[in-house]
Amino acid sequence: MSEAKEKKPRLRGFAKTIGMAIDSVKDTEEGKLIIKGEKTRVLFNPKDGKWAALVTINNDQVTVEGIKNDPKKNLSRKNLYWWGYFEATLEDFMKASNWKTGKWLRKMAGGKVKGASQIEIVGKLIRLARSMTAPKTA
């Protein structure tokens, strides 16, 4: 008899986008350097979307889970044990890598960003994926 493979849940919406970006770089040399020795859980919640993305880095492995963000208690730290939290609109997620320190501080003061150092680890992977898929200009 063959062993039953653990079925991986299908990612949807924003979580699928984050998952595809991270999957594209996590096995590259640069991606492995970013996650080497890191341990974190970061929740990215798009205010204008239906699915949040919980990114877990542990033992040099990266996993992405899709979490339905309604009701809001689905995203609580108590339920998901996240260390970093970032809530914004989809447009702000796309612009976040260009934000100055002041804007990050305002987001932290407003409770939209928690655990910025944890978010930075995952942000490096996403930035790497963006740089690898960006069109080359002559």
The predicted-structure confidence for 52-105, as pLDDT tens digits, reads as follows 999 999 989 999 999 998 888 889 999 999 999 999 888 888 788 777 878 878
Question: What is the CA angle 34-60-11, rounded to 5?
Answer: 90
Q: Considering only 10-14, 122-126, 132-136, which range has the smallest mean pLDDT?
A: 132-136
Query: Model confidence over 121-131: pLDDT tens digits?
Result: 898 888 888 88
Per-residue pLDDT at 1 exceeds 50: no
Confidence (pLDDT) at 37: 92
Confidence (pLDDT) at 62: 94
CB 26 within 8 A of CB 93: no
CB 125 within 8 A of CB 25: yes
Confidence (pLDDT) at 6: 57
> What is the average pLDDT score of the chain?
85
74/62 Cα distance (integer angstroms):
21
CB 28 within 8 A of CB 122: no
Helix spans in the chain (H): 13-25, 29-35, 77-80, 90-95, 101-109, 116-133
Residue type, 129: A
34/49 Cα distance (integer angstroms):
28
Phi-psi region of 37 (alpha: psi -120 to 50; beta: other; left: phi over 0): left
Q: What's the whole-number mean pLDDT along residues 18-32?
A: 91
Q: What's the whole-number mean pLDDT along residues 43-48?
A: 91
CB 35 within 8 A of CB 62: yes
45/50 Cα distance (integer angstroms):
9
Phi/psi of residue 74, each to 5°? -60, -25
Q: Which domains does the chain have, with CATH numbers?
A: 13-130 (3.30.1050.10)
